């Protein structure tokens, strides 16, 4: 076992940004297509709503979430990665870091 005593701040920030952008893409897909389905149902008269006029320019703009949400999530993930790495590095100095096993094979018999 080895101790992970320091994390490279920029490396974790980029990793978090990439992971978060995939979550943002998923959220953008759900938001865009969910809105499209509701607006379509209002337009064809299957449901009524006083909040949405049905298919409109707003429906088209909602598909901007496919680009906007991954970008916003990536920025948030990047900033969170910076904070996480800084906090880990501070606490690892005081408490010794995490024990991590980098070996693929290990004898667990004793």
45 falls within a domain: yes
Query: 99: number of CA atoms within 13 Å, CB side?
Result: 1
- As beta bridge partners, residue 2 has 100
Domain count of the fold of the chain: 1
pLDDT tens by residue, 80-100: 999 999 999 999 888 888 888
Q: Residue 40 domain-assigned?
A: yes
Q: Please tell me the least confidently modeled range out of 11-15, 22-26, 27-31, 77-81.
A: 27-31
Q: What mean pLDDT comes out for the span 65-83? A: 94
Domain housing 16: 8-94
Global pTM value: 0.73
Q: Is residue 1 part of a domain?
A: no
Smallest Cα–Cα separation from 52: which of 29, 36, 68? 36
């Amino acid at each position: 076992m080895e101790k992970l005593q320091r994390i490279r701040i920029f490396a974790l920030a980029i990793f978090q940004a990439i992971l978060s952008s995939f979550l943002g893409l998923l959220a953008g897909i759900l938001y865009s297509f969910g809105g499209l389905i509701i607006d379509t149902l209002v337009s064809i008269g299957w449901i009524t709503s006083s909040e949405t006029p049905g298919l409109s320019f707003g429906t088209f703009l909602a598909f901007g979430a496919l680009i906007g949400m991954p970008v916003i999530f990536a920025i948030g993930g990047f900033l969170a990665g910076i904070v996480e790495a800084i906090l880990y590095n501070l606490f690892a100095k005081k408490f010794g870091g995490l024990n991590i096993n980098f070996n693929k094979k290990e004898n667990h018999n004793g």
